[in-house]
Structure 1
Amino acid sequence: MTQNTPLSPRLPRLPLHPEDVAHRVLSAAQLRARGVSAAQTSAQCLPGGPWQHLLPGVYLLHPGPPTGRERLHGALLYAGRPPASARRAPAGPADTGYGESMVTGVAALALHGFAAVGDVEALHRIDVLVPRTRRLRSTRFVEVLRAASMPRAVRVGELPVAPVERALADAVAGTVDAACVRRLLTEAVRDGHGEPAAVVRELSEAKLLGRPAVVGAVDSLLAEGRAVAEARLYAMVREHGLPEPLWNVELRQPGGLPLGGVDAFWPDQAVAVELDARAPRYGAPGRRGRTEEPPRWSAPAAKREHLERLGITVVRLSPRKLREAADQQATVVRTALMAAADQEPAAYVMVLPR
């Protein structure tokens, strides 16, 4: 007696939604959780079949070429699959399958909205970041990068993405084009994606500051960051109704001894504002994953102490705080101006253009 076995076993009904990429790209574990066996999956991926094998252990549930979003989703599924030796409960239908993996490099910058890298649909390579302990090979359009300590991912839509500073460092590490590096770093600061100090710190962590393509670009980054911070300071003063200061001046003692420059100075109240736009270009890098206080900078600290001994109140504002909480920073400056009336008169200083 002969038993007839169907060549293409009937599939369970899958909740496919053409508009949802998470239902068009599934891992083998996700298919099993939906009742699709390995044999059924293989049958669907035969030549001329309705599915295709996108990456090892990852399947595209339509016959056409993958979109950029499908490639991103597939790359995360490939990088996020658990090691074969790991014991894990079966994946449920709501499990993303990404594990600890996240998009980084140029693909992450595209998701963050960087104009310099274009749209995700045009990307030929997708970098994914995984823990250093993962034994996973790069394959096809997926480049696997490893981190000793994983950064905290940010969500862009449904995708876990490396923070801008880490994505920039990974993108810069993969290019020797100085013009491209300069465009990326300049856009990061000019368009408010990140602060110069944080970007340079990440480049230092990755040991990229000595690269020829990076050296000049960092100078442009710091100059751009300084200009952006100054523009935010001008806007804060005017939009919050603070008295107009003397902008960008040099302070000297009557005998000519220089006291240093300040970004804004109210001579009647003896209040000065300095932008803390320094970056640890040449300092020793910290360890990834640890929050460290910035080092004490002897020259700025000495200048501040000297000015305060003369009765001048120095307010230091960071570019990040000006961007994220300008109203709070305006309150700090206004408080310093109001408190001047209750203090002893400051020593006379000369004010010169800087």
Structure 2
Amino acid sequence: MYRILIVDDEPMILKGLRIFIQQYGLSISSIRLASNGQEALTAMEEELPDFVFTDIRMPVMDGLALCEKIAELDSSIQTVVISGYDDFTYAQASMSYGVKEYLLKPVGKRQLHETLHKLVQRAERIQPVAAYLSVAKMDEWLVRFEQAIYYMDHVQTLELIQVWEQEITAYRMQDRQKNEMLEEFHGLLMKKLKARDVNIALETRLHLEDTLTFAAAYRVFASSIHQKLDCLYKKRKGKPKDPIEEAKFYIEKNLASEVSLEEVADLLGLHPNYFSVMFKQMTGETFVQYRTKRRMEYAKRMLSEEQHRITDISYAVGYADHSNFTKTFKKYEGISPSEYRQKLGI
């Protein structure tokens, strides 16, 4: 599978080239687009392409400078310059940077397909035994896996498992190298989940045998991920919901009780300290502040209904001590419960 980068400051040309490339029927893992040389270099920090198609005249960084930068990488990237007739002199200069092909605008589908055929033939002859996987790309996949597992998104996790296998397969490496990459990725992922204090067993090693094919090793990896999902599901009592939303729902249903942070954290299968920090980050309030706010909002709704006595309302929102309820309500609303009723005309 090949990775392709197209660089041009004209959106219609970018779109047209992408369509032509897709119509060629090449086995492609990614087609990335950039509007200038600098954007292209940023994209290449995340993932090195096999083929680059670039214009010459572009803002920020032109195609000639980009070709020079690609040459400095000393990689197996094959670069194709696509430019206008007036830029032919520049295109000739780009050949000194290892540019493989030069195409004159406007580029036709047949012409582009013939060029792709040449690039593929050349790539198959080279067949590098190693490939480059940037730290940024690895981190991107780690975050996606971590989020899917933590929030128990089975559909997303299954999709990631399938696509990640294709991603690693796209790097033309020996099975041993792929397995080492997989082992490292699994270890980093488990460390990220440990940092979340998910309170389940997280073995960082896959313990892959040296003789395993990549396909077999990946089955071990996939099995490990599914096992972590099952453990987390059981720990959270089969409730695959957003932890914060589930916490809010639990508080809402138990306003009359003295619900503690530790109680909710245990319900969610989270460490209390981590849950406390996460709750504050996601809501902007501490657990106690949020619980108090919801109690006072419910108290206001009950106060607007004449049939409820203020003493009964204080019990309904978790305050056995009526004076404590009055003090908290006044701090929250600025007036006492009885004054609030008077203001409503009750």
Structure having the larger proportion of residues in strand: 1
Q: Same fold (TM over 0.5)?
A: no
- TM-score, length-scaled by structure 2: 0.30
Structure having the larger proportion of residues in helix: 2
- TM-score, length-scaled by structure 1: 0.29
Return the index of the structure with the highest Cα Rg: 2
